[in-house]
Amino acid sequence: MRVDVLTIFPEIFSGFLNTSIIKRAREQGFLTVNLVDIRDYAGNKHRNVDDYPFGGGPGMVMQAEPIFLAVEALLPGENAVRPPIILLSPQGEVFNQDLAAELAGEERLVLICGHYEGVDERVRQFLANREISIGDYVLTGGELPAMVVIDAVTRLLPGVLGDPAGAREDSFAMGLLEYPQYTRPRSFRGMEVPEVLLSGNHERIRQWRRRQALERTWRRRPDLLARVDLSAEDRHLLEEIIRSARSEDRKTVL
C-alpha cells in the first residue's frame, strides 16, 4: 500500500515511521509512505499556506490552492480513477476497526492534514472524497489522526504481522474488547496468573478467554454487544455473567 500524507509538518512523522511495526512494514515493502509538504505548493516567497477567514473570526484558515496543487501533482489527470482522498477532520465519520479494514483493501490512500482553524471549505466540497475523525475532541492538526489511520490500517495488511491471529484477536477486531493477557513470571508480588491459562487444556482456555472478553465488553462497552453476531455459546456465557453480576450486587446491598 502507498499512503501520501499532505502536511505542513512532515518532520512530525519521522519517529513514527521509523519505529516498530510501521518501520518493518516499510522495510519489507508492504507500506510506502510519501510525505508531501504543502508549503512546497505555496504561491508566495514566504511559503505561507494560510490566511484570515472571510467574514472575520479567530485564527487562520488553510488555503485551498496549495492543497489542490499538491493533490493534482500526485494524481495527474482529471478522468483517472482516484483513490480515497481523505480529509482528517473532526467533522468526518468516526474511525473504527471496520473502517480500518475497508481502507486496508485499497492500494493507495491520500491523507490531508488540516491545521490552524481548519481548511478552506472548497477542499472538503471539491477535492476530498472522504472525511475521517478519530474522535470527538479537538487536536492541533491532522498529523496525529493520520498516524492513527496509518497504524491501524497497516496492521491489517497481509504479511505485516508475523501471526495473523494477533490482528484478528485484538480488541474491536472481533467486535469485543480483548481478554486479559499474561506472561512470565507466573507469580509477581503475590499476583498470580489464572490457573486455567497454565492448565494446557486448550478448550478450557478458549472458553475462559471468550467469557472474559464478553464480560469486559458488557461492563465497559456494552454498546458493542449490539453489533456483534453472538453465538449460542456466547449468549449462554453472557447470561451467566449477568446473573453472577446481579447476584454480587444483591450481596453488596445486603
**What amino acid positions are annotated as catalytic residues?**
90, 117, 155, 170
With H, G, I as helix, E, B as strand and everything else as coil, classify residue 130.
strand
CB neighbourhood size of 208 (10 A): 18
Closest CA to 103 of 34, 3, 224, 228: 3
- β-strand 191-192 against 187-188: which pairing, if any? antiparallel
Closest CA to 98 of 213, 230, 223, 228: 228
Angle between helices 202-220 and 232-253 in degrees, nearest 10: 60
With H, G, I as helix, E, B as strand and everything else as coil, classify residue 217.
helix
Residue type, 104: A
With H, G, I as helix, E, B as strand and everything else as coil, classify residue 188.
strand
Helices vs. strands in the chain: H and E counts, helices first: 9, 9
Q: How wide is the angle at C-alpha 9 spanned by C-alphas 5 and 12, nearest 5°?
A: 85
